[in-house]
Structure 1
Amino acid sequence: MLIRNVHERLLLADPDAVGALVDALGGESDVLWPSDRWPALRLDRPLRAGAVGGHGRIRYAVVAHQPARSAVFRFRSPAGVVGVHRFEVERRERVGTVLRHTLEAEVHGTTRLVWSLALRNLHDALIEDLLDRAELAVEGSVHSPARWSPYVRLLRRAGRARPARPTGPAPGATMRP
Structure 2
Amino acid sequence: MRVINSHARIIHQPKEEVSELFKTLATNEDLIWPSKQWPAMRFKDGLKIGSRGGHGQIRYTITAFEAGSHIKFEFTKPDGFNGTHELHMRSLSQDTSEISHTITMNTTFKASFLWIFVIRWLHDALIEEAFDNVENYFSKEKKATTYNLWVIILRDFYKRKSIQTKHA
Global fold match (TM > 0.5):
yes
Residue 64 of structure 1 pairs with residue 102 of structure 2: no
Shift of 1:159: 1.6
Written as runs of structure 1 = structure 2, the 5 A alignment for 1:123-138 is 123-138=123-138
**CA distance, structure 1, for counterparts of residue 82 and residue 21 of structure 2:** 26
Gaps of 5+ in 2: none
Deviates more, 1:23-32 or 1:151-160: 23-32
Contact 2:14 2:95 in 1 (8 A): no
Tell me, what secondary structure is at the counterpart of 1:4? strand
Gaps of 5+ in 1: 168-177
Contact 1:11 1:139 in 2 (8 A): no
Deviates more, 1:112-121 or 1:18-27: 18-27
The 1:100/1:165 distance shift into structure 2, 3 A limit, reads closer
Written as runs of structure 1 = structure 2, the 5 A alignment for 1:113-128 is 113-128=113-128
Match of 1:96 in 2: 96
TM-score, scaled to structure 1: 0.87
**CA distance, structure 2, for counterparts of residue 162 and residue 45 of structure 1:** 29
Quick check: which has more Rg, 1 or 2? 1
Shift of 1:145: 2.4
Deviates more, 1:18-27 or 1:98-107: 18-27
Percent identity for Structure 1 against Structure 2:
28
Tell me, what secondary structure is at the counterpart of 1:99? strand
Match of 1:158 in 2: 157
Contact 2:70 2:89 in 1 (8 A): yes
Tell me, what secondary structure is at the counterpart of 1:139? coil
**CA distance, structure 2, for counterparts of residue 152 and residue 18 of structure 1:** 28
Shift of 1:165: 10
Tell me, what secondary structure is at the counterpart of 2:49? coil
Shift of 1:137: 1.7
The 1:20/1:46 distance shift into structure 2, 3 A limit, reads farther
**CA distance, structure 1, for counterparts of residue 167 and residue 22 of structure 2:** 43
**CA distance, structure 1, for counterparts of residue 41 and residue 132 of structure 2:** 16
**CA distance, structure 1, for counterparts of residue 165 and residue 145 of structure 2:** 33
**CA distance, structure 1, for counterparts of residue 148 and residue 131 of structure 2:** 17
Match of 1:171 in 2: none
